[in-house]
Structure 1
Amino acid sequence: MDLTEQISQLEADLQELGSLLEKAERKRVQELLKQEQKKVEKELGAKRQQKEQQARREADPSAASKATYTVKITSYAWDQSEKFVKIYLNLKGVQKIPAENVEVSFTERSFSVLVKDLDGKNHQMTILNLLNPIDEKDSYKKIKTDMVLIMCKKQTTKKWECLTTVEKRSKDKDKPAMNENADPSDGLMSMLKKIYDDGDDEMKRTINKAWSESQEKKIRGGGDMMDF
């Protein structure tokens, strides 16, 4: 399997991992998938670098002595307009390298950036699981002073509350579920059940004790029973 095919397979693996992560509900499963995502991203970055170096050697045998290494872009900012989601990457001196050294590829739910040979390094970033689909054909990049601006064209004008579904899931996890027509006691029981399921042995013993006391009280006619 040549490098091009290996890269293609790794990109497909990333897409599938992103799809699985979007569907995963258990925290442990999400963490395992994220770890695997990082491994594949690292391997993909290495393969892309290897392919680039191979191309340089073929084009110019002296290029081997100028080989660069790849670092991951971990810091960025974003905002949005009615039509675009904008991602800002601070890369000092990026305007001084050839524009073709800044490669950006888009899919409906992701984008990948590779900035080649900037200060002797390649800079790479992949964002998966975008909150909403984008129009990959109308998305593009802008190179500014010390910055690369990624313009992701929204398919709809809906306002994004965050950049990725993973971030949204994390935010939603901290929000209590609200149902105006629900019985307040049902919400309390749901909360207690979640605490019980997620709690350690000591927490479960405490809840079991409270349930037993509540049951005894119910039998004596003094109150409602906590029904697990």
Structure 2
Amino acid sequence: MTSALEELQKDLEEVKVLLEKSTRKRVRDALTAEKAKIETEVRNKMQQKPQERAEPGDSDKPAPVTAGYTVKISNYGWDQSEKFVKIYITLTGVHQVPLEDVQVHFTERSFDLLVKNLNGKSYSMIVNNLLKPISVEGSSKKVKTDTVLILCRKKAENTRWDYLTQVEKECKEKEKPSYDAEADPSEGLMNVLKKIYEDGDDDMKRTINKAWVESREKQAKGDTEF
């Protein structure tokens, strides 16, 4: 079975033969116009991209697999030693990913993690405004079974981090009782004791109750002596 291009080429050859034999001007003009038309069609066919002349069955081939969307990591744990702040991120199967696809970039007050091509997805975690400066050169990562461990080297060793980021510190400080200089000092103390009592364990509550009773007894005794 001949292709469309081959048919056009045959038509073109036949028009050329007829044009050579023709003697009438009107006929020659018509044949010349047809010849130009066929030549244009032949050029267009030959310039078609290979995919436009795909072989039968090409449409049945599976499309290439592309990377999926990026998942933001929000769950993690952290602790510290004298030299390092350690962040633990659990990702099932991460130890099977090529090491070059687990990337961590450090700055003095931040780090960002990118894990590529893990079960058809990428995973990203960005932590800005670390509580204290870190050493970029001394920081690193480790990939363990289902876990990425990020090691932030403390710039000032033997210093304790109460929070991972400055934002966490500010949020916690806002939750602390505020002190009003113009307020009754005893009222401020009561608010502090109330907060400690509500957040404390059973031993703390018993201690506060005992102190409260003793304070009331002393106050009552002082009033009687007066």
Q: By how many angstroms is 1:176 displaced?
A: 3.1
Which residue in 2 is equivalent to 1:105? 105
Which residue in 1 is equivalent to 2:93? 93
Could you tell me the TM-score, scaled by structure 1's length?
A: 0.51
Q: By how many angstroms is 1:65 displaced?
A: 3.1
Please give the secondary structure, in 1, of the residue aligned with 2:125: strand
**Structure 1 residues 81, 63: closer, same or farther in 2, change over 3 A?**
farther
Which residue in 1 is equivalent to 2:83? 83
| Correspondences of 1:49-128 after superposition (within 5 Å) | 65-128=65-128
**Structure 1 residues 176, 94: closer, same or farther in 2, change over 3 A?**
same
Which structure is larger by alpha-carbon Rg, 1 or 2? 2
Could you tell me the TM-score, scaled by structure 2's length?
A: 0.51
User: Identity of aligned pairs, percent?
Assistant: 52
**In 1, Cα distance between equivalents of 2:94 and 2:138:** 23
- What is the identity, as a one-letter code, of the residue corresponding to 1:155? K
Please give the secondary structure, in 2, of the residue aligned with 1:136: strand
Please give the secondary structure, in 2, of the residue aligned with 1:167: helix
**In 1, Cα distance between equivalents of 2:107 and 2:63:** 32
Length, aligned pairs only: 128
Q: Cα deviations across residues 137-171 of structure 1 (Å, max 9, x unaligned)?
A: 11000000000000000011210001001100011
Q: Cα deviations across residues 74-95 of structure 1 (Å, max 9, x unaligned)?
A: 1100000010000000001111
Please give the secondary structure, in 2, of the residue aligned with 1:135: strand
- What is the identity, as a one-letter code, of the residue corresponding to 1:132? K
- What is the identity, as a one-letter code, of the residue corresponding to 2:150? I
**In 1, Cα distance between equivalents of 2:179 and 2:64:** 61
**In 2, Cα distance between equivalents of 1:117 and 1:93:** 11
5+ residue gaps, structure 1: 1-61, 190-228
Which residue in 1 is equivalent to 2:160? 159
| Correspondences of 1:186-225 after superposition (within 5 Å) | none
**Structure 1 residues 87, 187: closer, same or farther in 2, change over 3 A?**
farther
Please give the secondary structure, in 1, of the residue aligned with 2:65: helix
Q: By how many angstroms is 1:178 displaced?
A: 7.0
Which residue in 2 is equivalent to 1:176? 177
**In 2, Cα distance between equivalents of 1:171 and 1:63:** 51
**In 2, Cα distance between equivalents of 1:91 and 1:149:** 11
